[in-house]
Structure 1
Amino acid sequence: MQPVQQSLDFLAELAAGGPVRLLAEAFAAAGHELALVGGPVRDAFLGRAITDLDFTTDATPDEILAIVTPISQAQWDVGRAFGTIAARIDGETVEITTYRSDSYDHTTRKPAVEFGDTLEGDLLRRDFTVNAMALRVPELKLVDPSGGMDDLIAGVLRTPGTPEVSFGDDPLRMLRAIRFTAQLGFTVAVDAAVAISEMRESISIISVERINDELSKLLKTDAPRRGVELLVESGLAELIIPEIPALQLESDEHHHHKDVYQHSLTVLEQAIDLERSRDTSPSPDLVLRLAALLHDIGKPATKRNEPGGQVSFHHHDVVGAKLARKRLRALRFDNDTIAAVSRLIELHLRFFGYTDGAWTDSAVRRYVRDAGDQLERLHILTRADVTTRNRRKADQLAFAYDDLEDRIATLAAQEEIDSVRPDLDGEQIMRILGIAPGREVGQARAFLLELRLDEGPLPPEEATERLLAWWAARS
């Protein structure tokens, strides 16, 4: 956290120009209050970049719209039912919300919205004290009715009122608390942590879409591990994504295996480090992080105690991919994300056969073909999956994967491996074999593709000769 006076100076500078000044002047001229609120104020004191400009006011949504329209380039009222109007002002998007108080009736999935009449009342209904501070503009007065500054200095997440009332008003706040531990590096106050555990069942009234949003935000933080751990410790994970706590496999005195749960968290951390260092994937990469966290969720269902004290998890990659598809569908992730994550989980063990013996060029081509557009993520996930403390073994695996990537690059340069296709297209196949469109054309293409993967590109004459030989043998 940076010095308070420095933060106040920064907020004053922010309020002196751009959209903040224009809004402050417009609302004052209309006889209404306006305050910068929540995240922007908190982040200013933490020295974090301010990415959103959120305001609150005593004006109604209709009055807000009337005030901002003359000074904005665009307006959106999709949040009108919740008292929020968004606008594009001086090149930045802002949101202005009427003082309000929302709560759930403990049976429905949507909050009931009631508008308030004071800034202090609006702040006291917010989720945590560090988010319940506001800067009145244009007068630049800091309003902190619940001691948010003290909690900000202490790095503590505390609710403005009792946590039972706060989480009862909106159970999603339990997930927000967990996300903020990862995002801000804060700890949850003891009474709030106890309330989360005791009230976790109430998360069932929250829509899946809102839960998805919070879970995604958690995984996209710089260091999500502690948040995931709190998700499990509180019991919320059992209700939202039970495959994660299920990774805490039991072992007996005769059969030993590494801690799959802790291993998965380490893989997540290592994948994030590689994601940043390789700088070839979008960051934060939600698909990669989901795959890293879920890559071993097939192990509980496939665990077998073998003779000699060994433990096996045969086919946990295939089982895990199916479980991931099912869970991510239930959490309403989009189809592209589901397909990518499940594919990565299905393929995450493929490389480990590379160290058992030299792969042929054909095997390398198949690895690339099967990975498709997930190849770079598969590179990262496979490297991150090495968590052994045996330095020699870790180095051997790293050197082997370096070799595999070098071979992929070489083959790509030679053969444009990223777009491997049969050496003859459908029209050529039909002309050579004298057949009409149909299943046989597809079978011929499949044969030529396998030939291409096995032997690399062939001259048209040789490809034709091999196709005719295949056709004759087939007939």
Structure 2
Amino acid sequence: MSAVQRRAVTELLRVAPVADDLARRFEAAGYTLALVGGSVRDALLGRLGNDLDFTTDARPEQVLAIVRPWADAVWDVGIAFGTVGCRKRLAGSPDYQIEITTYRSEAYDRTSRKPEVSYGDSIEDDLVRRDFTVNAMAVALPGITFVDPHGGLADLAARVLRTPGTPEASFGDDPLRMMRAARFAAQLDFEVAPEVVAAMTDMAERIEIVSAERVRDELNKLIVSDHPRKGLELLVTTGLAEHVLPELPTLRLEVDEHHRHKDVYEHTLIVLEQAMALEQPGEPDLVLRLAALLHDIGKPRTRRFEADGRVSFHHHEMVGAHMSRKRLKALKYPKDVTDDITRLVELHLRFHGYGTGEWTDSAVRRYVRDAGPLLDRLHKLTRSDCTTRNKRKAATLARAYDSLEERIAQLAEQEELDSIRPDLDGNEIMKLLEVPPGPLVGKAYRHMLELRLEHGPMDHETAVAALREWWTANAPA
């Protein structure tokens, strides 16, 4: 028995109690059931989790009738696409999340953003419609019978992504599969077969008929994978990125202002990898990774050739933040995620604005205030943005950032840096100045906040005196 087979048997035996129990219920009702797709692939790779995918000749209504008396919870949100979900708990085991899909095929017409679903009659018909051969394998249950009509096991061993039929037919049926090719390359560290890459290149523009939400979800899975660079480079090489993330390939045309790399595109991919290295093990940070990917997209629009021969990108962080917001909105990212990423892009150069000298207390307070809850991510993004090959320069920048973090820690012991507020709140300001709510109170509040940032905490008497001094100069006639 090969190592692959041993891993598969071990994984399948682990889930056998729940899988066999479910399969026998389908058999008793006159239907077939098979573990399929990613579940079989992951079993062969020795990484099968508790999310199990099954396929069956039973129609969705019949599936519901079988699983409702058996499962601990059932949901039918995917029933329009032939999928029924359920949860099952066995004694001594964690919950199994199960999806059961009727044999099916799905295809887009030339303008639709939603696939048209039709049901198939055999598992072979179902498997030929799967995206890649490594996902077109099944294990018929009960009693383990391996079904592999398209050589998925051989491709898995070779670590290559091919389509069961022609890639043109596959991507014609569902253009999102082109994004999945990049995603699986990034997740599994597989190579994509040349004929698949060629079809992706020829058909790249067809991705535009797929909804932004589905594209975004595939992009997210790619970004948080173990090898996102591999998938991103495939998107750029095939031209898919020009339709889903056009700011990325545009970076290939630009020269980094420090001439540290061939182009800003290469620099960006290195920053992404360095940011990943600063994450907690096993906890990929989508916001940090997307900020790293987008942090320099403002450079193409701000490039200037200076008289001394240098290339400058003044204010590219502000332009990049605006561009990031526009792109993330187009991809339908949630508002909080969009806000966090654009803020990180906007702030990623703030550290360099202070040079490498000693940070004043005022500068530290403003840095912490502006970063807010994103401070830890900003630390990681700023450190990752150093890709110079000059070891002395890299060490100098690292020491400067170490110094900043030390200053933040020192001030945090003395002051509430996480929630910097003026020493007088709005109610106190209105009472002391004897004014109602309005713009003047806001101006007074902002003045007191600036004093707090510049000079640190004040006692009450000093704060009142400072407010009255400001009022003397700014009170209306």
| TM-score between both structures, scaled by the size of structure 1 | 0.96
Residues 1:307 and 1:420: Cα distance change in structure 2 (over 3 Å): same
What do residues 267-293 of structure 1 show as CA deviations (whole Å, max 9, x unaligned)?
00000001136x9xxx21111111000
Within 5 Å, give how 1:247-258 maps onto structure 2: 247-250=251-254, 258=261
Within 5 Å, give how 1:322-361 maps onto structure 2: 322-361=322-361
Task: Give the C-alpha shift of residue 451 in structure 1.
Answer: 0.7
Q: Which amino acid aligns with 2:415?
A: E
Residues 1:110 and 1:455: Cα distance change in structure 2 (over 3 Å): same
For the residue of structure 2 that corresponds to 1:55, the secondary structure is strand
What are structure 2's unaligned runs of at least 5 residues?
90-94
Q: Which amino acid aligns with 2:338?
A: I
Give the Cα separation in 1 of the matches to 2:40 and 2:472.
77
Contact 1:106–1:168 under 8 Å retained in 2? no
Give the Cα separation in 2 of the matches to 1:381 and 1:255.
18
Please name the residue that 1:82 is paired with: 81
Q: Which amino acid aligns with 2:464?
A: T
Task: Give the C-alpha shift of residue 51 in structure 1.
Answer: 4.5
For the residue of structure 1 that corresponds to 2:35, the secondary structure is strand
What are structure 1's unaligned runs of at least 5 residues?
none
For the residue of structure 1 that corresponds to 2:149, the secondary structure is coil
Task: Give the C-alpha shift of residue 204 in structure 1.
Answer: 1.1
Greater Cα offset, 256-265 or 176-185: 256-265
Please name the residue that 1:387 is paired with: 387
Please name the residue that 1:42 is paired with: 41
Please name the residue that 1:63 is paired with: 62
Within 5 Å, give how 1:238-317 maps onto structure 2: 238-250=242-254, 258=261, 259-276=263-280, 283-317=283-317
What do residues 58-80 of structure 1 show as CA deviations (whole Å, max 9, x unaligned)?
11101100000111111111111
Residues 1:8 and 1:49: Cα distance change in structure 2 (over 3 Å): closer
Within 5 Å, give how 1:153-192 maps onto structure 2: 153-192=157-196
Give the Cα separation in 2 of the matches to 1:8 and 1:231.
32
Please name the residue that 1:128 is paired with: 132
Within 5 Å, give how 1:418-457 maps onto structure 2: 418-457=418-457
Please name the residue that 1:32 is paired with: 31
Give the Cα separation in 2 of the matches to 1:379 and 1:250.
26
Please name the residue that 1:3 is paired with: 3
In angstroms, what is the RMSD of aligned CA positions? 1.7
What do residues 189-233 of structure 1 show as CA deviations (whole Å, max 9, x unaligned)?
111110000011111111111001111110010120011111100
Greater Cα offset, 69-78 or 167-176: 69-78
Residues 1:196 and 1:264: Cα distance change in structure 2 (over 3 Å): same
Contact 2:132–2:162 under 8 Å retained in 1? yes
What do residues 74-127 of structure 1 show as CA deviations (whole Å, max 9, x unaligned)?
111111111111111123221101011111112211111110111111111100
Task: Give the C-alpha shift of residue 21 in structure 1.
Answer: 2.7
Task: Give the C-alpha shift of residue 348 in structure 1.
Answer: 0.3
Q: Which amino acid aligns with 1:75?
A: V
Give the Cα separation in 2 of the matches to 1:276 and 1:93.
26
Contact 1:256–1:309 under 8 Å retained in 2? no
Within 5 Å, give how 1:104-115 maps onto structure 2: 104-115=108-119
Contact 2:113–2:211 under 8 Å retained in 1? yes
Please name the residue that 1:211 is paired with: 215
Residues 1:264 and 1:73: Cα distance change in structure 2 (over 3 Å): same
Please name the residue that 2:99 is paired with: 95
Task: Give the C-alpha shift of residue 50 in structure 1.
Answer: 2.1
The count of corresponding residues between Structure 1 and Structure 2 is 468
Give the Cα separation in 1 of the matches to 2:322 and 2:254.
23
Give the Cα separation in 1 of the matches to 2:355 and 2:225.
34
Task: Give the C-alpha shift of residue 5 in structure 1.
Answer: 2.6
Give the Cα separation in 1 of the matches to 2:298 and 2:8.
51
Q: Which amino acid aligns with 1:474?
A: N
Q: Is residue 2:378 matched to residue 1:378?
A: yes
Within 5 Å, give how 1:191-210 maps onto structure 2: 191-210=195-214
Task: Give the C-alpha shift of residue 353 in structure 1.
Answer: 2.5
Contact 2:359–2:407 under 8 Å retained in 1? no
| Structure 1 residue ranges (4+ consecutive) displaced by more than 3 angstroms after TM superposition | 254-258
Task: Give the C-alpha shift of residue 302 in structure 1.
Answer: 0.6
Q: Which amino acid aligns with 1:100?
A: R
Residues 1:408 and 1:255: Cα distance change in structure 2 (over 3 Å): closer
Q: Give the percent of matched residue pairs that are identical in Structure 1 and Structure 2.
A: 60
Contact 2:356–2:400 under 8 Å retained in 1? no
Contact 2:255–2:264 under 8 Å retained in 1? no
Residues 1:359 and 1:6: Cα distance change in structure 2 (over 3 Å): same
Q: Is residue 2:147 matched to residue 1:143?
A: yes
Task: Give the C-alpha shift of residue 460 in structure 1.
Answer: 0.6
| TM-score between both structures, scaled by the size of structure 2 | 0.95
Give the Cα separation in 1 of the matches to 2:13 and 2:255.
59
